[in-house]
């Protein structure tokens, strides 16, 4: 049986990202597997062959394979081991039809995905949108169209949904549902219409509410951090300093040194 070495990169409610290493030692007889979640598998090194009732599909560094829930298949390794980057969960469903689906991986997509797999950590707050942007590159890259009226309406709906939450964290599926579109569509439309990622806009709203609480209340900074959705005071401090140029403590003591400007264009 092949031996697998997983390295989890992100585990969220709607998405798991895992770098899988496989030694390629197949059993004498193939073992049937059944997909339990939607999954997009991007080959980083080596190759494997996926066999199902429709035929044989080879994944190599120029190809990604997608399988949906319930799909039965067998995996063989004709040339030894491999390294795969797997996106599993509800979010990759937008990239899967009646699987398995083979998608081309352009050089630009391969480089971006390889860098994602090699990263020591992925920002858990931005992981969903980072993954969708990377998957968008499969098969030719993101939609180059300029923003249209529909995109602007989607962006307004998302902006409204973020603003109504007064700095509370909110996930992509919830925001996409409020705009009545898929998560992938929401991310593309928002970026086209605003030049920013949804994650950047959510974080900006949380930081602005944190700033308001720092300047207008005497609440402990640790309480403010959790109130606006950060894991702890240190997490808020890092994000706050990157955005405003000073620590939360100094911002409270010396508000005149706080930086200003519009929210960033993306990650």
pLDDT tens digits, residue range 167-205?
A: 777 888 888 898 998 888 888 888 888 888 888 888 888
C-alpha closest to that of 40 among 20, 12, 25: 20
Structure confidence at residue 165 (pLDDT): 79
Burial of 204 (0-12, 13-18, 19+ CB in 10 A): middle
Pick 200-257's CATH classification: 3.40.630.10, 1.10.10.60, 3.30.43.10, 3.40.50.970: 1.10.10.60
Structure confidence at residue 98 (pLDDT): 52
Numbered ranges of CATH 2.60.120.10 in the chain: 4-123
Tokens of 198: 């949804």
Structure confidence at residue 78 (pLDDT): 81
CB atoms within 10 A of CB 194: 21
Numbered ranges of CATH 1.10.10.60 in the chain: 200-257
Q: What fold is seen in the domain 4-123?
A: Jelly Rolls (2.60.120)
CB atoms within 10 A of CB 83: 18
Structure confidence at residue 267 (pLDDT): 40
Residues of the chain below pLDDT 50:
140-142, 261-267
Structure confidence at residue 145 (pLDDT): 62
């Amino acid at each position: 049986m092949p031996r697998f070495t997983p390295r989890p990169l992100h585990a969220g409610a709607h998405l798991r990202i895992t770098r899988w290493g496989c030694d390629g030692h197949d059993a004498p007889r193939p073992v049937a597997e059944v997909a339990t979640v939607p999954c997009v598998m991007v080959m980083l090194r080596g190759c494997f062959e996926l066999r199902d009732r429709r035929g044989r599909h080879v994944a190599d560094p120029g190809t990604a394979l997608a399988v949906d829930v319930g799909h039965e298949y067998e995996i063989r390794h004709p040339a030894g081991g491999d390294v795969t980057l797997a996106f599993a969960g509800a979010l990759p469903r937008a990239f899967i039809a009646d699987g398995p689906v083979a998608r081309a991986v352009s050089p630009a997509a391969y480089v971006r995905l390889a860098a994602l797999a090699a990263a020591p950590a992925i920002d858990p707050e931005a992981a969903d949108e980072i993954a969708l942007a990377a998957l968008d590159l499969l098969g030719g890259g993101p939609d180059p169209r300029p923003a249209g009226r529909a995109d602007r309406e989607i962006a307004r709906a998302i902006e409204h949904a973020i603003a109504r939450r007064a700095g509370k964290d909110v996930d992509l599926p919830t925001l996409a549902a409020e705009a009545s579109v898929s998560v992938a569509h929401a991310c593309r439309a928002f970026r086209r219409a605003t030049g920013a990622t949804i994650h950047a806009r959510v974080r900006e709203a949380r930081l602005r509410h944190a700033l308001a609480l720092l300047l207008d209340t005497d609440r402990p900074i640790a309480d403010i951090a959790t109130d606006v959705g950060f894991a702890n005071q240190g997490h808020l401090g890092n994000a706050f300093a990157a955005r405003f140029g000073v620590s939360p403590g100094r911002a409270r003591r010396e508000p005149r040194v706080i930086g200003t400007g519009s929210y960033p264009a993306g990650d």
